[in-house]
Amino acid sequence: MNRLISISRGHINTLKNNLTGSILAPNKSLRDVVIIRGLHDQKRNARSTLNYVVAIGVMTVGLSYAAVPLYRIFCQAYSYGGTTGHVQADDAISNMTAMKNRPLKIKFNADVASSMQWNFKPQQGDITVVPGETALAFYTARNPTDKPVTGISTYNVIPFEAGQYFNKIQCFCFEEQQLNPHEQVDMPVFFYIDPEFTEDPKMEYVDEIVLSYTFFEAKQGMKLPVPSYVKQ
């Protein structure tokens, strides 16, 4: 055993040349066996190193694939980067208090796509709201044509940073709405501004928020690229 331990990788050649008078290899065959065993050790060490390196490579590739859903879960849990969690607890709404010292003016804007023939406008130009208080607003849409037209809408909030505090409880966006010929309908939006708005330093000088809805036409059988979180 002592003979094997004393043979280190780099010294095989020097041992081979050290023939006569060597205590470590008294006769030729024993010396050869010792050298071969050293070579075998060297191969085994090299192979295990290779295994480790391959394993680390595979783990890195696997981690980079797993990072995508993990990051998404992390962002939703901690509302990082403006994403909001999917579950807005009902008790959050029932427990929030209105901040009467910070009135905000919400302006409403309505647009239609150029090929869309509806008349779409807000019923009120603006309303004054305080964070933490639920508010109701109305839009009106009218179909002046002789055919039923289906529309689908999306919305926008300006300034962008205020959009994360603008929570809609219920509205009429992202789902197809059909209007019969010459029909007029009122569309409500029920929303509130999160009370944390008052604690955001970036929102210190924001007193006006613009909510803008745009209607597009949805033809029968046309598949619109709706966001993945919309319930079909």
Instruction: Please state, in angstroms and rounded to a whole number, the distance separating the CA atoms of residues 65 and 71.
Output: 11
Residue 58: CB minimum distance to other proteins, A:
35
Residue 128 to residue 188: CA distance in whole angstroms? 17
Cβ closest to other proteins, residue 117 vs residue 154: 154
CB of 165 to other proteins, least distance (A): 11
For residues 113 and 214, is the Cβ–Cβ distance under 8 A? yes
Rounded CA gap, 179 and 145, in Å?
A: 10
Q: How far is the CB of 212 from other proteins (least distance, A)?
A: 10
* Cβ at position 147, least distance to other proteins in Å: 16
Nearer to other proteins, 48 or 124 (CB): 124
Q: Which is nearer to other proteins, 23 or 68 (CB)?
A: 68
Residue closer to other proteins (CB basis): 25 or 213: 213
The smaller minimum CB distance to other proteins, of residues 37 and 182, is found at 182
- Contact footprint for other proteins (CB under 8 A): 82-84, 88, 90-91, 93-94, 96, 98, 100, 105, 123-130, 133-136, 138, 154-157, 160-161, 163, 167-175, 177-180, 183, 185-188, 190, 192, 227, 229-231
CB of 129 closer than 8 Å to CB of 104: yes
Please state the closest distance from residue 10 (CB atom) to other proteins, in A: 55
Distance of CA 77 to the CA centre of its chain: 10
- Rounded to a whole number of angstroms, the distance between the first and last alpha carbons of the chain is 73
Q: Which two tokens stand for residue 49?
A: 């190193």
Look up residue 196 and give its DSSP letter: G
Token reading at 225: 């690229």
